[in-house]
Amino acid sequence: MPRRQDHASTPLYTPKERQRRDASTWTVVQGVLAPLQFLVFLVSLALVLRFLWFGEGQQAATVSVIIKTLVLYTIMVTGAIWEKDVFGQYLFARAFFWEDVFSMLVLALHTAYLVALAAGALGVRGQMLLALAAYATYVINAAQFVLKLRAARRQVSPPTAVAVGGGLGLAK
């Protein structure tokens, strides 16, 4: 009977994938965009909460959610290109399948916010609550990527550990 391979012992990257990851320009792009996205998220979160708690700064909160969504789209597109460079497919590569699946929910909720804003649906408070739901999914997705990055670093000896990028989360 063949032995089932444990996912915990399966390396995140094959040696060729690791080489492609390290050589890809998109790895650096993801490494820059991920912390930028997180910073934009923190500022926007503060502005949205300020509006919801005090009723102040509606325009600033709205603009911040739009900017956060545009940064999200940017990191998603560049992350898909990164996955193509490293794994040979734009999304749902073996190593990041579940992170990418959850990323689709993150994208859907951010896009739903833009649709509600453009349509004038849900009212301003409802739109901001939708933005918070989108942000909650973003935090979960970012945590998925951070955990994956930590696992990848544990699989590599310290001298060759490299921060890597991709997808929606902080880094792949």
Residue with tokens 């990055």: 149
Q: Answer for the pair 94, 83: CB distance below 8 angstroms, yes or no.
A: no
The pLDDT value recorded for residue 54 is 98
Cα–Cα dist 62/131, whole Å: 9
Give the global pTM.
Answer: 0.83
pLDDT band at 156 (very low <50, low <70, confident <90, very high): low
In this predicted structure, the answer to whether residue 4 has a pLDDT above a threshold of 80 is no
pLDDT band at 12 (very low <50, low <70, confident <90, very high): confident
